[in-house]
Amino acid sequence: MVAKACQYHLTVTNRMLPLISAFKKDLYHCADCNYCVDAVWAERGIDHVCATMQHHTPLTSYSGRGYIAAARAWLEGVDLDLNALGERVFTCTTCGNCEQVCPIGLHPTAVGRALRGELWAHEQVPAPLAALHQDLLRDENPNGVPRAQRMQWACGLPKTAETIESVLYLPGCAAATTTSTEARAAVALFTAAGYWVNTLGEADSCCGAPLHELGLDHAAARMFEALSGKASGDRLVVMSGLECACSWQRGAATRQALSFVAWLAQALHAGRLQLHTTRDLGSSIHLLDSCQSRRSATNSLVREILNGVGVAFTSSPTDPRYVVCCGAAGGMPRMQPESAARMACARISASEPDSLWVSADPRCVAHLRAAMPSARVFGLAEFLTTYCAGSF
């Protein structure tokens, strides 16, 4: 087929593409500089940019710049093969590194998400993600775990004492359905800090973050509202999922809601928890930053926490703002599971072979463990409760 390629007609055809039209400024501002495609800048800790391009395909149509070019072409009236477009934009991990490195502050990740939204509207969604959507509606989690089993993570946990201060703990889908050890360790730390731990029990559900990553903003917002409605009252809400923390920021920025990392940092700072390393760890510790929280303080807080309890660790890249995805996020795990596993192995292999890997993001923990079962990967709470002594 001959491409009826983008003609750079500078008059937009006013196609009914409201989601990408909202990014017109980005589409016409892209300098084609290719920083979002690939870049290495040691002084800034930028060591390649796009995990998809590194571990799935080097085709630039899978990059942030590729999404901008496709969105512009579509808006300008080029007849694109939407099937091929879907394959490209739904594979993206939504890690946001392309946005982070863009020297002029454009939003290629968001453009990719807008393209996803348009593709839903055009009913051009790749089958694995249509299935994920169905799973989410049915099970209220993206991991295929029946709804009735969501609370199994808490089985056998003793009821925590009723104290004046309580937290409403929402582990998030990953910790609840795939990394229960992390959820249980979090409860141990809440308790040690003197909090009465509540959950939503059977009513606990997904915050809508996976729908947001799929480009279904309205559906994501609805799912979030359903959850936040259940979490009524003025109780402090704490969640382990870092993508959940992003949902709460988007959906209820005024609500008293914290990521578990932020809560832990506060508790340590206030002296409510005392932790220190007890054992010679015997291995070097490698911190795996989360791409989902590159713009929040979370990655720095994890560093503060580890430093505070006396854990010496390495991390790569050194600057967490430019962290490359481990393959757990976005459409990647469903669209391209083998590439997603390669991304995980690459993150692990970037440090010493016998390390002990720590991640504050339960979704990454589950994905990394599945991709490389031999690697000793810990959630943050799990690591602290295993290797530190303190007031718990």
Partner 1 sequence: MNAVRKVTETLDPAVVSDNPIDLLTYQRDCSVSPPGHAQAMVRPRDKDDVAAVLREATRQQVPVYVRGGGTMYAGGVNPHQGGLVLDLTGMNRILDIDLARGVVLIEPGVRFGALTQMLKPHGQTIGIIPVTGPTATIGGAASAHALGTGSARFQSFADEVVGLEVVLPSGQVIRTGSAAGPKAEYFHRFGMGPDLTGLFLGGDATFGVITAIALWLHPLPKFRDTQCYGFASAAAAANFIGAVQARELTRLVWYGSGYEAGTIKSRVLGAVPDTAPESLPQFCVGLDFGGDEPMVRHDQQLIATLCADTGGRLYPLFNESYFRHLRNEEIYWYGYAGYFSRSRCAILMSSLATPSMPAFLTAVAQLRTEYPQFLWGAAVVLCRRGLHGGIMAFYDEAREWEAAQDATQAATALLVKAGCTPYKTGKLWAEQLAGFTQYHEVLQSLKQLFDPQAILSPGNLGLGHNANLEKKSDVL
Distance (Å, whole) CA 242 – CA 174: 10
Q: Which of 27, 92, 114, 125 binds ligand SF4 (CB under 6 A)?
A: 92
Residues 6+ apart with CB under 8 A from 337: none
Q: Which residue's CB is nearer to ligand SF4, number 94 or number 141?
A: 94
Instruction: Give me the residue label for tokens 């799935």.
Output: 56
Q: Is 378 in the site for ligand SF4 (CB under 6 A)?
A: no
Q: Is 106 in the site for ligand SF4 (CB under 6 A)?
A: yes
372 in the Ramachandran plot: left (φ > 0), alpha (ψ -120 to 50) or beta?
A: beta
Q: Which does 28 bind (CB under 5 to 8 A by kind): ligand SF4, partner 1, none?
A: partner 1
**How many residues interact with ligand SF4 (rule CB under 6 A)?**
29
Q: Is 29 in the site for partner 1 (CB under 8 A)?
A: yes
Least Å distance, CB 391 to ligand SF4, is 40
Q: Which of 73, 75, 109, 378 binds ligand SF4 (CB under 6 A)?
A: 109
Least Å distance, CB 92 to partner 1, is 14
Q: Helix, strand, or coil here: 167?
A: strand
Least Å distance, CB 301 to partner 1, is 25
Q: Is 22 in the site for partner 1 (CB under 8 A)?
A: no
Q: Is 189 in the site for ligand SF4 (CB under 6 A)?
A: no
What is the per-residue DSSP string for 8-40?
A: --SS----S-HHHHTTHHHHTT-----TTT--E
- Alpha helices by DSSP H, listed for the chain, are 18-21, 24-27, 51-55, 64-75, 82-89, 97-101, 108-121, 127-139, 172-177, 180-192, 209-213, 217-230, 242-251, 260-269, 298-308, 332-335, 337-349, 362-371, 380-387
Q: Which residue's CB is nearer to ligand SF4, number 76 or number 304?
A: 76
Least Å distance, CB 35 to ligand SF4, is 4
Which residues are registered as beta bridge partners of 169?
238
Distance, C-alpha 192 to centroid of its chain: 28
In contact, 315 and 289? CB cutoff 8 Å: yes
Least Å distance, CB 108 to ligand SF4, is 5
Q: Is 311 in the site for ligand SF4 (CB under 6 A)?
A: no
Q: Which of 54, 61, 274, 277 binds partner 1 (CB under 8 A)?
A: 61
Q: Which of 35, 169, 224, 313 binds ligand SF4 (CB under 6 A)?
A: 35
Q: Is 73 in the site for partner 1 (CB under 8 A)?
A: yes
In contact, 272 and 165? CB cutoff 8 Å: no
Count CB-CB contacts under 10 A for residue 41.
13
Least Å distance, CB 97 to ligand SF4, is 4
Residue-wise burial string across 346-364, b where 16 or more C-beta atoms lie within 10 A, e elsewhere: bbbebbeeebbbbbbbbbb
Binding characters for ligand SF4, 53-72, by CB under 6 A (x = yes): ----------xxx--x----
Q: Which does 333 bind (CB under 5 to 8 A by kind): partner 1, ligand SF4, none?
A: none
Q: Which residue's CB is nearer to ligand SF4, number 65 or number 116?
A: 65
Summarize as ranges the residues that interact with ligand SF4 (CB under 6 A).
Answer: 30-36, 49-52, 63-65, 68, 92-98, 102, 104, 106, 108-109, 112, 325
